[in-house]
Amino acid sequence: MIKLSWALVAQHVDEWSGDSLAQGADALAAKVGAAVESSGMKPETVRHWQTDFLAPVVEALRTEGAAALARGESWSRAAGPFLVCASPAIRPEAE
């Protein structure tokens, strides 16, 4: 199981948990993209933000993050006002 947490400075904090890093990366891109699009920024600023901050972090999660998680390690990346952390989530023991 994987846990993703992210923050957009002074805007949005959220998290996702699941078994698939691909699904987590997709959820990250969708949720952060929606938060940025609804932020009130001009369309060209939204595109700039998605290109310069969101896309590179999502790509790094899919590559560097996947490798770290496969080793059982945590991973994080920041770009401008955006921070993402990924870690192997420990499942509670079945009782």
Q: Work out the angle at residue 81's Cα, subtended by the Cα atoms of residues 20 and 37, and round it to the nearest 5 degrees.
A: 70
- Closest by CA to 80, choosing from 58, 49, 39, 59, is 49
| C-alpha span between 4 and 89 (Å, rounded) | 9
Predicted confidence at residue 92, as pLDDT, reads: 59
Q: How confident is the model at residue 94 (pLDDT cuts 50, 70, 90)?
A: very low
- Does 76 map to a domain? yes
Q: Work out the angle at residue 35's Cα, subtended by the Cα atoms of residues 10 and 89, and round it to the nearest 5 degrees.
A: 80
- Does 57 map to a domain? yes
Type of residue at 20? S
Range of the domain at 62: 2-88
If you average pLDDT over every residue of the chain, what do you get? Answer: 90
Predicted confidence at residue 95, as pLDDT, reads: 45
Mean pLDDT of 62-77: 96
- Does 93 map to a domain? no
Q: How confident is the model at residue 16 (pLDDT cuts 50, 70, 90)?
A: very high
- Does 94 map to a domain? no
What is the tally of structural domains in the chain? 1
| Residue 93 vs residue 74, higher pLDDT | 74
- Does 95 map to a domain? no
- Does 41 map to a domain? yes
- Does 6 map to a domain? yes
Q: How confident is the model at residue 91 (pLDDT cuts 50, 70, 90)?
A: low
